[in-house]
Amino acid sequence: MSNSAAFPDWHGTTILAVRKNGRTVVAGDGQVSMGQTVVKGTARKVRRLAGGRVIAGFAGSTADAFTLIERLEAKLEQYPEQLARACVDLAKDWRTDRYLRRLEAMLIVADKDSIFTVTGVGDVLEPEHGVAAIGSGGNFALAAARALVDVADLDAEAVARRAMAIAAEICVYTNGELTVEVL
């Protein structure tokens, strides 16, 4: 039996990262739901790390995500300016450590040059098209951003904001209260 069977059915995160024309944006909505009830509409699921050089967004259990973000910060201190290496090292620890293996969260991590999705099964995925998304509304935001990213007059932030608005219109676990961080 997984940990999630013992806890309420928490939903309500959409995290989107967009890289376009040398700019990287990570956006997250603010909704947290328990079952059919919105518990909070203004949660902050996107954070700056490493002196502002890295942005991380999380989906899943908040306490678990904060544990992973703390571990990622330690890896970034160990491997400054090496985001890929820090993410791979975190994923390796997450996969092999008995305590970390039980954490139920996902991360999107980005710096000025790269975007990575990091999971508890050991994945560190870099998107092919400069767009990545996780969470309940992640697939909606991903599809919208992929459609918008080639529109010439939209910068990375405009793509992220429009895609998140589309996801919020479709996914009941996503709202329009955004946290947007830009590098």
Positions marked catalytic: 13
Please check whether residue 69 is in contact with residue 49, taking contact to mean a CB–CB distance below 8 angstroms. yes
What length does the chain have?
183
How far, in whole angstroms, is CA 183 from its chain's centroid? 15
**Amino acid type, 137:** G
Q: How far apart are the first and last CA of the chain?
A: 41
SS3 content of the chain, % helix, strand, coil (to 5): 35, 30, 35
Q: How far apart are CA 148 and CA 152, in angstroms?
A: 9
Q: How far apart are CA 91 and CA 93, in angstroms?
A: 5
